[in-house]
Amino acid sequence: MIREYKLYHGAVLADIVAMLGGAVTLRPEAEGGRLLNYVINEAVGLQVKYATQRLHPWHFNFPSSHVSSLSILASTYPACFVVLVCHTDGMIAIDAADVIASLKSNAEQMWLRADRKKREMYRVHGPAGEFPGKFKTTVAPIVEALLRIERRQH
């Protein structure tokens, strides 16, 4: 039996690999035995969260250990993202610094909520309120960060 998280994580990683169109290195960053965080091309940290409910809004809980590991990733790599996978509806790539700032505004309630109307972009809310702007269903911000870092290194 395929574990559910592998389906969601696999969708995110497959999109990143497809969009980059070249060699990609991935490695896990262990979180207490659970696969949650990844490092891409030794340059970008990634935390994947998923919601299994079919209908919106989608809710994502962030235990303090997940926030801690995200903070470590964000401080270790030049870029870091959280991808929220909204069942089979789509995925949202958000800069980890924005996620951390929202979550730490109320350490008792660490959660995010994503919602969207049909054929519209996602809106994301957290303890600090609604995130500025709307989000497309894409991992393009991660790919753009990887390409930007790669250009700087050459």
Instruction: Flag whether the pTM goes above 0.75.
Output: yes
- Domain containing 21 — which CATH number? 3.40.1350
Cα(18)–Cα(141) distance, rounded to whole angstroms?
14
Whether 104 has a pLDDT exceeding 90, the answer reads no
Q: What is the pLDDT of residues 27-79, one digit of tens each?
A: 998 666 678 999 999 999 999 999 999 999 999 999 998 999 999 999 999 99
pLDDT of residue 146: 95
Full residue range of the structural domain in which residue 22 is found:
4-153
Whether 15 has a pLDDT exceeding 90, the answer reads yes
Mean pLDDT of the chain: 92
State how many domains the chain has: 1
Nearest to 86 by CA among 120, 115, 111: 115
